[in-house]
Every structure is written in structure tokens, then in C-alpha cells.
Amino acid sequence: MPELRQFTRAPAGPGALTATVPREFVHRVAVAEVLLTGWTRTDADRFTITAQWPRTHQLHVSPDRSAYEPLLIAETVRQCGALLAHAVYEVPLGHQFVLRELRVDTRPEHLAVGAAPAEPVVDITVGEVRRRAGRPAALRYDAVVRLGGERIATGGIAVTWTNESVYRRLRGGRTADVGALRLPPPPTALLPADTVGRALRADVLLSPAARPGRWRLRVDTAHPVFFDHPLDHIPGMLLLEAARQAVRAHGGDESRVPVSFHAAFHQYAELDRPVWMEVSAEGGDDVQVVALQGESVVFGCRVGAVAG
């Protein structure tokens, strides 16, 4: 495994240099999708990680470029765990990571896009490192995200990993060559992009179904963000975005803006079987969204939404 040096970003000013962390450590192929710029250890299991958010992004900045999306924070917190697993806990590159739980609660009033890319700081507290045969096999951590000294979000993740050979046995030989099922041809259509808070039809993940509060999931394995690299299953960030879109579309209230996500990933969502997104419950500002594949709930997410 290549060495990743620990560093703290130099103060801004003449001669200051900033770079992203190696893309391999956050499981990205496109350098443009790497959000983290550095890290430092502050205690035994406490870390401060620096990041930079772009002022425009296909998914993670609002279509009018005025605000950062809450799922940008989710992706930032996800990348923090991958970075620490490799750089601190010595998980080899090539191990397969499985996201088990993710939560993020944001303060949207602090997510405006400014005149320069935002540079948040993420404080990570590792609460649990589970070991197998003396080696780390799982990680659970909490995150506090600050921007300009202001606390703008909190989050947490539970993730496990395994080596390639064990993963292949678990997956029964499935590979990234498995193609995604295509949606039926017209007249079946995707939801209009503006009803799910998207500018591009290519980013719409939901197709109407006969029952209210239910949609068929569209999976495009050529999507440059969700499928930054080939996968043998539907990625967690795609399911989170589908939950976000379901809340925006539900009840015809397009003004509802999701600001928090508490998600559990129960099992792999396969590429070659239909997935249905459903609103299963509502209460106050919260909407529970599940993803069904066959008779199984593969994903569930409680989404908190506020009036936009």
C-alpha cells in the first residue's frame, strides 16, 4: 500500500499549496470527485480532516448554483472514513467496503455557495474499531462539519470491509460486468427533472408507478458520479439520492427540501433486478423511504425535510 503522509494544510497566503488526498484512499477514479485535502490526528481516535467543495457540481450543488446539497456533506463524511481506514488503520487498497449505516443532519441556512470554493473542516471521532483475527474489519465514527468556524452539520457512518477473495465468495461470483436492467420504453417516462430538484433528465432516478408514493428506480451505470468506477451492485449514494428525490416528488410538494438523512443499508441492491422506492411512513417533517427488491427491503432512510 502506498504511503500517505499525514499533514495539515498550510495557511492561506503567498506560496501556500493545497492538494487533494490520493483518489485511491477515498475510492474515486475521477480526481474531480475527490473532496478531501488533508488530515491530522488530534488524539488516539480523533482526527481533523480538511476538504474543499466546488462551486458547481452535477449533483451536489443546487441547479441554480446557490447552495450546497446535504448529500455533498454525506459524501464528504463517507470519504473521511475511507481515508482513515487506509491511512490510519492500515486497510489494504483493494479491500471491498460495505456501507452499513449513514446519518447526516445539516443546517441549510449555512450551505450557501460563496464567491470561492468552500473549505469545510470535519472533526472525526472514531467510536468503534471492530477487529477480526487481530486486524481492523469495521469502523464506526461520528463527524462534526464546520465552515468558517460555524457548525453546519453532524453525521456518522458504520462501514465494514473484506478482502477481494472473501468478497467474491460473498457475492457468488457477481462482477461489475452485470448490466443494469433498463426501464421500459416510452410511454413509461421518468419524472420531470424539476419535480425532484434536478436540472438534468440524466440525473432523474425515479420512474412513475401505478401506486402513489411508489416509483421504479432508474439505474444508469454510465452515470459519471454514481458510477465513478464499475460496480457489481447499486451504490449507496445512488440510493440516498433516490430517497431525496422520492421526498421531493411525494405528495406533489416540490417545495419540501430534504436536510437530513438517517439510512440503513440492509443488503446489496443488485443491478439486474428491479428496485422499487416507496414512501412507507410519514410523521411531522420526517418521511421514511424504503427500497424494495423482490420481497426484501434492501435500504431504508428516514429523511427530514423542511419547507423551501
Q: Give the max Cα distance, the chain.
A: 60
Q: Is the dihedral of CA 5, 227, 99, 148 positive or negative?
A: positive
Q: What is the tens place of the pLDDT at every residue in 57-107?
A: 999 999 999 999 999 999 999 999 999 999 999 999 999 999 999 999 999
What pLDDT sits at residue 246? 96
Chain-centroid distance of CA 8 in Å reads 25
231-252 confidence digits (pLDDT tens): 999 999 999 999 999 999 997 6
Confidence band (pLDDT; 50, 70, 90) for 186?
A: low
Amino acid at 18: T
Runs of H (alpha helix) within 64-193: 70-87, 164-170
Rounded Cα distance between 129 and 156, Å, is: 14
The percent of the chain in helix, strand and coil, each rounded to the nearest 5, is: 20, 35, 45
**Residue 152 in contact with residue 110, Cβ under 8 Å?**
yes
Residue given cell 439486474 in the structure block = 272
**How does pLDDT run across 28-61, given as a tens digit for each residue?**
999 999 999 999 999 999 999 999 999 999 999 9
CB 153 within 8 A of CB 106: yes
DSSP conformation letters of 213-269: TEEEEP--TT-TTTTSS--SS--HHHHHHHHHHHHHHGGG-TTEEEEEEEEEE-S--
